[in-house]
Structures are given as C-alpha cells and as structure tokens.
Amino acid sequence: MTSPLLTPAAPAPPAAAPRRRTRWHTAALLAVLLCAAYLGQRHWPVVASGADRLAAADRGWLLLAATAALATWACAALAQQGAVAERLPRGRLLAAQFAASAANHVLPAGLGAGAVNLRFLMRCGLPAGRSAGALAVKAAAGALARGVLIAVLAVLCPGVLSLPEVPVTALAAAGAVAVLAAVLLCGPLRARWGRAVGAVGADIRAVHARPHRAAALWGGSFAFAAAHALVVIAVVQAVGLPLSPLRVALLYLAASSAAALLPTPGGLGSLDAALAFALTSAGAPGTAAASAVLGYRLLTVWLPLIPGLLVLGVLIRRRAV
C-alpha cells in the first residue's frame, strides 16, 4: 500500500501551461501599453513644439522626409535578412524592425533593438548563438557602411570636418583601456573570445557564400544610413536652411557617430545636441537648426514611437518575438 506522503502529485491539466503563457503575454502587452502611454504623455510637449515649429515648413520636402523615414525600417529589414543564410518571414521581419526601432528609444545603447531582433531570430528557429552572431554581423556592416559614407562625403566636402584636439590625459586613458583589453583577451578570456570570433567569422563566410545575401546585407546597411541622412536633408530643406545636401548628410553622419559614444536611448539628447551643434557650426541660425532637429526627431522617433510599441506588444502576445 502506498503511503499518502509518497503518492505522486496529479499532473497539471494540459491547459494550465497555455493559461500561464497567456497571462504572461497579456501582462507584457499591458506593460508595453502603459509604457507607451507614459512616454507619449511625458514627451508630448516636445512633439507639439516640433509641430508648431514645422507648421510653416515646405510640405513637399516634409513628405519626402516622411517617406525616407518609412524606408529606414525596410532597409533595416533588408540588412537583417542579409545577415542570416536562412530565409526569414518578410512581414514579421519588417514588423520586428519597426518594433525594434521603438524599443531602441526606451533602452540605452541599442539594447532594445538588440533584444527584439534576438528574440525574433530565435523565434524563427535560429539558435541563440547564431542569432547573436547575425546581430553582430549586421552591426559590423552598419558601422563599416557609415564609416565609408563619412569618408566619401569628407572627400566631396573638404573642410567640413576637422579632427578635434584630444587632451594627453584622454589619450593615456584610452591607451590604458586598450592595453587592459588586450591583456584580458589574450589571457583569461582568450578561449571565449576565440570561440565568439570564430562563430561570427563562420556566419560572415556563410552569408558571403550567397551573393544575394551579401548584397542584401551591404545594400541594406548603406541604404539605412543614407535614408536617415535623407530625412535630415529633406527637413533642412523644408525649413529653408542654406546648406547643401551633401554637407548636411556629412554633418548628420558625423554627429550620429559621435552621439553613439554616449549610450542614451536612441541617442536622445546626445544626437540632438550633436546635430544642432553641427548645423550651427556650419552656419545655420540657431532657431532654424533647432527646428531641423525637432523635425528629424518628430519623423523618426515621436510619431512612430507609440505605434511601434503597440506593434511590439502585438508581436510579444503572438510570440513572434
């Protein structure tokens, strides 16, 4: 006879686990909605101010800027598809990039976009290691594409950029950090670092073994940076700033690269200050430069923020990310 204390517990009903998952996804969706409402209420004065400043702007240029802003998500989706050999579902891929751009303005240093894209790739069947490698490939291609564009535009627009004077203490600190990193990578972290580099190298070779994937990766990376630059160019033209498009593109790419050194959510604050400073340093009036920055932020952050967070909530509920 079996003791009651040793009697195995009855198995949970089959519907218990789905119910728990449903409650978790519902809670996540509510959290996203609350976050969206909070951000919208908190930053609404910025949106309203930007709309007032742009009220007299040229509608045709603003339409071009809005079209370029929409194109940035398609370019991001193209680059992400190019970073993996497997074929990704197009609709979910585009929705994930739209949601990732919104999440990127909630968490600093690209953590929001990285987390959304990592979960999306894993939901598509890629292991965690390969998903992280695909994100690393995409990030490396994006950084290299941005650097190439800056170099080309710097040649076409001589005298726009100048190397700042770096204090000796800053150079010494950077050298110390580099030496410490080299010691760690060649010592305790050598095995892990080697495995990570080897995995990323294998992903790069797999992508470039397929010309259409390589074309998607590099084409999407260059187009993504160019589309963001086009948004700024069109807004600058809309508010009547007397700056050439190539000059504006160079100023934006340089300012956004400098702002990346300060890991704020979506570059909020750091990119705004850097871009406004770059435009005023190029001869733009302060008020017009502020209007251009507000217009760029309105089209790339504030207007798509709430819809992007809502899409993120739907993707979470449907277990797409």
What would the pLDDT profile of 194-227 be if each residue is shown by its tens digit? Answer: 565 666 677 778 788 889 999 999 999 999 999 9
How many angstroms separate the Cα of 182 from the Cα of each of 137, 151, 179, 187? Answer: 22, 28, 5, 8
Average pLDDT over residues 122-141: 91
CA 53 to chain centre: 26
Rounded to 5 degrees, φ, ψ at 187 are -115, -105
In the chain, DSSP assigns E strands to none
Of 318, 292, 271, the residue nearest 110 (C-alpha) = 271
What is the DSSP code string of 203-220? Answer: HHHHHHTSHHHHHHHHHH
What residues does 265 pair with on adjacent strands? 108
Contact 117, 92 (CB under 8 A): no
Q: State the amino acid at position 124 in one-letter form.
A: C
Question: Of 14-18, 107-111, 278-282, where does mean pLDDT reach its minimum?
Answer: 14-18
225-268 pLDDT, tens per residue?
A: 999 999 999 999 998 888 999 999 999 999 998 887 776 666 66
What is the predicted pLDDT for the residue at 23? 60
180-189 pLDDT, tens per residue?
A: 655 655 665 5
Average pLDDT over residues 22-47: 59
Higher pLDDT, 16 or 59: 59
Average pLDDT over residues 54-66: 87
**Contacts of residue 241, Cβ cutoff 8 Å, sequence gap at least 6:** 248, 279, 284, 285, 288, 289, 292
What is the predicted pLDDT for the residue at 31? 63
Report residue 129's pLDDT band, with 50, 70 and 90 as the boundaries.
confident
- CA-to-CA distance for 251 and 296, rounded, in angstroms? 14
Q: What share of the chain has pLDDT > 90, as a percent? A: 39
Provide the whole-model pTM.
0.77
Residue 252 burial (C-beta neighbours within 10 Å; 0-12, 13-18, 19+): buried
Highest mean pLDDT among 43-57, 193-207, 300-314: 300-314
Contact 219, 279 (CB under 8 A): no
278-295 pLDDT, tens per residue?
A: 998 888 887 788 889 889
What is the predicted pLDDT for the residue at 247? 95
